[in-house]
Structure 1
Amino acid sequence: MSVSDLKARDLMLIDIVYVRPDEKVAAVDLLMVRKSLGGVPILEYKTDKLVGIVTQRDIMLSRFRTSIAGMSVSNLMTKNPITVAPNASIKEILNLMLSHHIERLPVIDNDKLIGIIEPESILYAVHKKISSKE
C-alpha cells in the first residue's frame, strides 16, 4: 500500500472534542485554547448529527464585527460543513481541503461523526507510511 492508497479512515483523528449548538462562544473559545484546538465540530443534542464547525479564526474575526458576549456558537458556526466518507481517497481529501481553504474535514459514516482530518493528521499518516517502507 502506497501513500496514494491512504483513505480518510487512515488519516483521521478519532479522539474528537466537540461542542453543542447552544454552548457559548466564550466557553468554546476557552476550550479550544486549553486543548490547543484550531476548531471543533458542533453536534446536535439528540442525534449527535454534525450541524456545523467553528474555528478559532471564526471567533477571532467575529470579535471585530460584533460582541460575542452571551452569543451561542450556533450563531457563529459554519453550517453544513464539507465532509467525507471513511473511504475517501487522500487525493480527494487534499483537493477538497485546498480548493475550499479548509483545515478541518469531518469524516461521516451513517450520519455520525467518526473522525476529523487535519493537516497534522495527514502529515503523521504519510510519515508513518513512508517510514514503514524503509
Structure 2
Amino acid sequence: MELKDIKAKDIMVTDLLTIDPHEKVAAADLLMVRNSIGGLPVIENEKLIGILTQKDIMLSRFSISVGGLQVEDLMTRNPIKIRPETTLEEIIELMLTKNVERLPVIKEEKLVGLVMHGQILKKIHEVL
C-alpha cells in the first residue's frame, strides 16, 4: 500500500469511548485519564454533536471551575467530520489547517471511527 492509497477507514480507531452531553465534565475528565485518551466524541440520540478534549478542559480551568459543568458546556460543537473514504492527504490537510488532532469518521450520519494523529504516524511508519 502506498501513502496515496490510504483512507480514513484504513487508520481509524473503531473501538471508541463516547460520552453524553449531559454528563459532568469531571466524569469525562476521569474517563479520559483512566483510558489515556485525549478526547471524547459527544453523542446524543446516536449522532455526533461535539467533541470534548483534555485541551478544552485545561484551557477552561484558567477561567472557571469546571467540575460541576456538563460536557455540553465545554465541548466543541459541530466538529469537522470526515468520511471513511477521505484520503490521508485530505486528513492531514484538515488537521493542519484546522489545528485539530482527531477527526470523527461518519457514515450514514453515525460515528464509525476516529482518526487521530498517532494512527497517521503509525501508518506512515508501516508504509515507509
Question: If the TM-score is normalised by the length of the shorter chain, which range does it land in?
Answer: over 0.9
How many Å apart are 1:70 and its aligned residue? 1.5
Q: SS of the residue aligned with 1:65? A: coil
Partner residue in 1 for 2:39? 39
* Ranges in structure 2 where 5+ consecutive residues have no aligned partner: none
* 2:106 matches 1:105: no
Partner residue in 2 for 1:82? 80
* Ranges in structure 1 where 5+ consecutive residues have no aligned partner: none
Structure 2 CA distance, aligned partners of 1:127 and 1:15?
A: 22
Structure 2 CA distance, aligned partners of 1:5 and 1:55?
A: 30
Equivalent pairs, count: 128
Structure 2 CA distance, aligned partners of 1:104 and 1:54?
A: 11
Deviations 1:72-110 (A, max 9, x none): 000000000001000001010000000000001000000
How many Å apart are 1:60 and its aligned residue? 0.6
TM-score for the superposition, normalised by structure 1: 0.92
TM-score for the superposition, normalised by structure 2: 0.96
Amino acid at match of 1:17: L
Q: SS of the residue aligned with 2:23? A: coil
Structure 2 CA distance, aligned partners of 1:4 and 1:73?
A: 37
Larger radius of gyration: 1
Give matches, 1:1-134, under 5 Å.
Answer: 1-44=1-44, 46=45, 48-130=46-128
Name the % identity: 50
Q: SS of the residue aligned with 2:122? A: helix
Amino acid at match of 1:68: V
Over the residues paired in the alignment, what is the CA RMSD in angstroms?
A: 0.9
Larger deviation, residues 121-130 vs 94-103: 121-130
Q: SS of the residue aligned with 1:23? A: coil
4+ long deviations beyond 3 Å? none
Amino acid at match of 2:89: K
Amino acid at match of 1:76: L
